[in-house]
Amino acid sequence: MKKNFYCLFAILLLGMFDARAQQDSQYTQYMYNTMTINPAYTGTRGVPSIFGLYRTQWVGLEGAPKTANFSFEMPVSKNGQGLGFSAINDQIGPSNETTISANYSYPVQLSADLTMSLGISASGNFMNIDYTKLRTLNPNDPYLNGQLSQISPNFGAGVYFHSEKWYAGLSVPMILETKFYDDIQTSMASKRMHFYAMGGYVFDLNDNLKFKPAAMIKMVQGAPLAVDLSANFLFYEKLTLGAAYRWDAAVSAMAGFQITPGMNIGYAYDFETTKIRNYSSGSHEIFLRFDLFTETKYRLVTPRFF
């Protein structure tokens, strides 16, 4: 039987208001969705890429988070400058939030095999919360009636180092603090800066097997430190199998397959390690990526495992 999530959402929502912090979208397969986290990644694959991801979290809880992500990126110059676009929609209980971003990156060749990319992004956030969908003990509570709707601009920046074997990056996708107000101009919530640090290394175990450990750390005031650790194996440049651990939150299993040279699909399942596992059957995440390259204009000279 489904558990009612709306009362839980109300508690979480009020907690976020008091702490004046709100988390960005969460991904298990963040290593395939790097541009969303760090604008400096834009265009570094060397080919135009279309990416789509859908995540349903805490399955079994009514009103649990659902995230849809679409992005497009491509190199636009011979030296590897990149442009990108992304649209992210988050739904949780009575809230619906959409963020649209445009990214630009500029590469600096530090050595023959090491590149540093600098990136910036501009975004617009569309937030809507319909409090009338909440089931509350006091239907006349002035803080849980009506709607909150607001559009706010933002910008972000990042730096991304990469070679054929490893990568590392630092980023702040949204630099401006955004405050949300109700109909009587009372501050109801705010979004603070999220700081991301990530890195990974690819080991060639033999001609047909690669191993990539990776990590990502997310920091934001008013929320616990988030640490994601993962390990993926790539077999014959086709099949990817791996596992991940989100500190004090979940363990995950991941699988991916390179269907064609330009099409990659992946799936992840999260098993919650917190008490929420008593009410949920876990989280599911699936992505599909298309690399639009041709033999004449774009080509993957050295396919990277990131």
DSSP-based three-state secondary structure for 12: helix
**237: left (phi > 0), else alpha (psi -120 to 50), else beta?**
left
User: What's the pLDDT tens digit per position in 228-251?
Assistant: 999 999 999 999 999 999 998 999
Residue 51 CB contacts under 8 Å (≥ 6 apart), including other chains: 32, 33, 35, 69, 70, 71, 72, 73, 287, 288, 289, 290
Residue 197 CB contacts under 8 Å (≥ 6 apart), including other chains: 169, 170, 216, 217
Gap between the Cα atoms of 111 and 163, Å rounded:
10
Q: Could you tell me the CA-to-CA distances from 265 to 44, 118, 255, 262 in Å, in that order?
A: 20, 28, 9, 10
| Tens-level pLDDT at each residue, the chain (306 residues) | 444 444 444 434 433 333 333 457 889 999 998 999 999 999 998 899 999 999 999 998 888 999 999 999 999 998 899 999 999 999 998 889 999 999 999 999 999 999 999 999 999 999 888 877 777 777 676 666 677 788 999 999 999 999 999 999 999 999 988 765 555 445 455 667 889 999 999 999 999 999 999 999 999 877 788 999 999 999 999 999 999 999 989 999 999 999 998 899 999 999 999 988 888 899 999 999 999 875 545 555 445 678
Gap between the Cα atoms of 85 and 100, Å rounded:
8
- Whether the CA torsion 140, 146, 152, 156 is positive or negative: it is positive
Place of tokens 């949920």: 280
DSSP state of 37: H
Gap between the Cα atoms of 181 and 288, Å rounded:
37
Q: Is 205 exposed, middle or buried (0-12, 13-18, 19+ CB in 10 A)?
A: exposed
- 113: tokens are 């095999």
Half-sphere exposure in the Cβ direction for 292 (13 Å, CA): 9
Gap between the Cα atoms of 11 and 1, Å rounded:
21
Gap between the Cα atoms of 169 and 54, Å rounded:
24
Gap between the Cα atoms of 304 and 201, Å rounded:
11
- pLDDT value at residue 130: 83
Gap between the Cα atoms of 77 and 289, Å rounded:
22
Residue 68 CB contacts under 8 Å (≥ 6 apart), including other chains: 52, 53, 54, 55, 88, 89
DSSP state of 133: G
